[in-house]
Amino acid sequence: MKFGTKAIHAGQHPDPTTGAIMTPIYQTSTYWQESPGKHKGYAYARGKNPTRKALEDCLAALENAKYGLAFSSGMGATDAVVKLLHPGDEVITGNDLYGGSYRMFTKVFANYGIKFHFIDMADANNINNYINANTKLLWIETPTNPTMQIVDIEAVSKIAKANQVIFAVDNTFASPYLQNPIDLGADIVMHSVTKYLGGHSDVVMGALLTNDEKLYDQLAFIHNSCGATPGPMDSFLVLRGIKTLHLRMKAHCENGRQIAAFLKSHPKVDKLYWPGFTDHPNHEIAKKQMRDFGGMISFTMKGADLNETFRVASSFKVFSLAESLGGVESLINHPASMTHASIPKEEREKAGVVDSLLRLSVGVEDIEDLLADLKQALA
């Protein structure tokens, strides 16, 4: 089954009671039991809900996975993965990382005796310099947030398997439309469903997908026990959003390509980060593991201090200055003071997250309006 067909149909069936084509919103906290323990597969909604189950099956299908779990946020999903570990365990992850993940790793789980290594993963072999008997998890983003670094998923997978280490990929920036890490050897795929999968900036949600039954059982236990589960209304909204994922992603990619080309020739733009350029670091790897290059773009401006960067960020008329990404509307973000503010200045600047960096989430508006907005804001 092709991607667009899966996006519309996977995990969803006509309602057996009414024949409704759309998955009903099962707005209930509990379920009738014929006798204690004898029920229709649902006992309490934190554990399972039919609307959420349809979404989980759909998400799994999009990532070519057998099992899916939906969480109340991307951070809830990330939290569940790290809870697979124990004090003394070590994690190797990238040095360009979503600020929320960095904050969770360093301010929460480090307090419980888990050690994190934040390293340059442009060359996957660098992982071998840090891996040891205590390493239990490799956690990567690709493309990374916000400097769009590309990590070779297949190469990291080989290292993980050789050392019997769990390998998880945050696939939020690419979406399953552009990249499927499980096909390249990942054990777990994480999504901030809030972003491209939901696609309309009206839901906060996360997800984990895997083919490993043992990992799924462990994660499902954490999911139910710790309770980071989404409600049926949010599940319905994401199911609805996913039906146009393939159409939206085509538009994001088309608009992103034109905006990247415009910025590349703009006299005020200094560094430009978009993996579709042949001179982007690891472009050939991106070309190999992605189907297209997406609508996420970051850039710095020549000679711009913090005040000038703020002025530009606040000058847009069509792009909205806001957190998040992946919605139909175009957004602009200042990572150093917004999404990555929790990372110490010295650490984030090493990865290129400087004060003059701006991140664009290119939406699906008419390209002429987006280009005109960029021209006037950068004037």
- List residues with catalytic annotation: 46, 98, 170, 195
Q: Is there a cis peptide before residue 36, judged by omega within 30 degrees of 0?
A: no
DSSP code at position 199:
-
SS3 (DSSP) at 132? coil
Report the sign of the C-alpha dihedral through residues 44, 46, 194, 178, in that order: negative
Q: How far apart are CA 89 and CA 329, in angstroms?
A: 41
List Cβ<8 Å contacts ≥24 apart for 308-317. 308/356, 309/334, 309/355, 309/356, 309/357, 309/358, 310/334, 312/358, 312/377, 312/378, 313/358, 315/376, 315/377, 316/373, 316/377, 317/373, 317/376, 317/377
Q: How far apart are CA 126 and CA 93, in angstroms?
A: 11
Q: How far apart are CA 144 and CA 91, in angstroms?
A: 17
Place of tokens 């991607």: 3
Q: Do the Cβ atoms of 256 and 293 come closer than 8 Å? A: yes
DSSP 8-66: HHTT----TTT--SSPP----SB---SBTTBSSS-SBTTT--HHHHHHHHHHHHHTT-S
| 37 contacts: CB under 8 Å, gap ≥ 6 | none
For the beta carbon of residue 40, count every other beta carbon within 10 angstroms: 10
Q: Quick one: how far is CA 60 from the chain centroid?
A: 15
Q: How far apart are CA 231 and CA 28, in angstroms?
A: 9
For the beta carbon of residue 335, count every other beta carbon within 10 angstroms: 23
